[in-house]
Amino acid sequence: MDLTTNFSSVSNSTIIEAKDYNLNITGLSDTSDTFQKMVDSLPVGSAIKLPKGIYKLSSTVELPEGIKLIADDNVVIQGIGKNTLFSTGNDNTFKGIEFQNCSTAIRALYKKGVNIINCRFTDNINYAAIDFYGASNCNVTNSYFYNILKYGIKIDNNGFDITIDNNFFDNPKVFGGYATQQISGHVYCLNGTNISVTNNILKNSGGQGIIFGYSSTSGKGTTNSLARNNVCIGNGQEGVTIYGGSKKVSSGNSIIGNTAKNNRYNQIEVWQSDNNTVSGNTVEESIKGRGNMGSICLFTTTGTTVTGNKVLSAQNNGIDITAGSLNCTISNNYIANTNLKNNINAAEIGNAILLDWNGIADPQYITINNNKISSSGGIIAKSGIYSTSNKNQHNKIYSNLITGYKSGLHEYADLTRDK
């Protein structure tokens, strides 16, 4: 990933040399007041070129509108462990800067046009590297997040038109892949619209790699958002999750073309959320003892489409449709090597596709067609398609190619079909 700095995006700005403002750049003493006086003295749209050094901030610097902070070379801004480093104005830019030792590095509170480019967030950031709260038209690109203790990027309170592209997230010291899961995530959207999370690598979060969730405080969720072409590996909960809560306030989101591998629970999950798309993803569970309900799991969702995905291996089920899911389509998926835990005694565990009431309600009006389902040698194969119900649930199950399973279309699944 290219973390070098260029100045093409600030070529129309007035370039200010910060070395003329007597900032302490040794990291040995606080330079908050001097930094604040510098940014307050400059005209809107100024680009401040920060010389190499360590800048210690013991309080929060409030950036005026349009100010751009540009690293000359090896610029590190450190807090004192509990403070927010920068509270943004509108149209601020951060480029090529490393942030350390704070509660939150950058907070955009009801601001627009905040751009974070080629930055690094490392070493003892205790809450969030970036907190977008009611923010809009913001971008985070080509940046590096390492050992953030809770949230890499948090989005809440009607955030919209936010793009998170081509970043790298890793928490090997904080979580390490397979310790106890945590309530956290690399990209954690509680409430927003048109959130685009694309081309990122997200590893070892204690929670989800990416979550389009909902806020229990406001009762609002995430809508019309996209996770595309991300790689989610070894996270403490799911790789990618859409979650709407009991009122299903998140909807209309898309999970497309991602790779999700060896995350602690389901690799991709749609949970209490309607009208979503899960398409063209590759999922894999190859660490013994991991996995949950299904590599791809649909829980109480209506109108969700799962198509063209590859399930290369699953500890339990390949695709799990459960808990009253309704009017969903499962088509043109490739599923192989399910039941890696070798659960031979529980009929509802280890199938390629499972229809499961899960103590809530039977899935109904589910279309399952044109899927290619296979099982390699050495694994006790269960059913290609299995149902915990043996009554008509108005499902449509047809034109699936099933090989290598003890039972292809199990008789219970067959009984759920409209004849």
Per the DSSP assignment, residues forming a β-bridge with 259 are: 231, 282
Whether residues 201 and 336 share a domain: the answer is: yes
Whether residues 341 and 370 share a domain: the answer is: yes
Give the pLDDT confidence score for residue 12 in this predicted structure. 54
- Distances in Å between the Cα of 315 and the Cα atoms of 85, 96, 181, 239, 334 are 43, 42, 18, 15, 16
Judge whether 316 and 283 are in contact, CB under 8 Å.
no
The rounded distance, in Å, linking the Cα atoms of 39 and 312 is: 53
Whether residues 112 and 132 share a domain: the answer is: no
Whether residues 296 and 391 share a domain: the answer is: yes
Which three-class secondary structure state does DSSP give residue 210? strand
The rounded distance, in Å, linking the Cα atoms of 88 and 86 is: 6
Q: Kindly report the CA angle at 223 between 221 and 226, in degrees rounded to 5?
A: 125
Whether residues 220 and 312 share a domain: the answer is: yes
The rounded distance, in Å, linking the Cα atoms of 225 and 256 is: 11
Whether residues 340 and 404 share a domain: the answer is: yes
Whether residues 119 and 253 share a domain: the answer is: no
- Distances in Å between the Cα of 284 and the Cα atoms of 41, 50, 179, 268 are 54, 44, 19, 10
Mean pLDDT, rounded, of the chain:
93
How confident is the model over 307-322, as pLDDT tens digits?
999 999 999 999 999 9
Per the listing, tokens 């050094």 go with 53
Domain's final residue, options 89, 123, 157: 123
Maximum C-alpha span of the chain: 81
Whether residues 29 and 145 share a domain: the answer is: no
Counting every residue, how long is the chain?
Answer: 419
How confident is the model over 76-107, as pLDDT tens digits?
999 999 999 999 999 999 999 999 999 999 99
- Distances in Å between the Cα of 320 and the Cα atoms of 132, 178, 231, 327 are 34, 23, 22, 14
Whether residues 72 and 131 share a domain: the answer is: no
Which tokens hold the place of 365?
């009006």
The rounded distance, in Å, linking the Cα atoms of 230 and 271 is: 20
Which three-class secondary structure state does DSSP give residue 224? coil
Which tokens hold the place of 260?
């999700």
pLDDT at 306 exceeding the cut of 50? yes
Supply the pTM of this predicted model.
0.94
Overall domain count for the chain: 2
Write the CATH number for 349.
2.160.20.10
How confident is the model over 377-403, as pLDDT tens digits?
656 778 999 999 999 999 999 999 999
Judge whether 259 and 228 are in contact, CB under 8 Å.
no
Whether residues 84 and 56 share a domain: the answer is: yes
Q: What is the signed CA dihedral for 222, 227, 233, 234, rounded to 10 degrees?
A: 10
Domain's final residue, options 91, 123, 155: 123
How confident is the model over 6-41, as pLDDT tens digits?
434 444 568 899 988 999 999 999 999 999 999 999
A 10 A CB-CB count for 414 gives 15
Whether residues 207 and 323 share a domain: the answer is: yes
How confident is the model over 164-208, as pLDDT tens digits?
999 999 998 776 655 566 778 999 999 999 999 999 999 999 899
Name the percent of the chain lying above pLDDT 70.
Answer: 94
Give the pLDDT confidence score for residue 8 in this predicted structure. 43
From first CA to last CA, the distance across the chain in angstroms is 55
A 10 A CB-CB count for 41 gives 11
Whether residues 94 and 199 share a domain: the answer is: no
DSSP letters of 41-110?
TSPTT-EEEEPSEEEE-SS-EEPPTT-EEEEEEEEEEE--SSSEEEE--TT-EEEEEEEESEEEEEEEES
Domain's final residue, options 62, 95, 123: 123
Domain that holds residue 329: 124-415
- Distances in Å between the Cα of 342 and the Cα atoms of 160, 283, 403 are 44, 19, 18
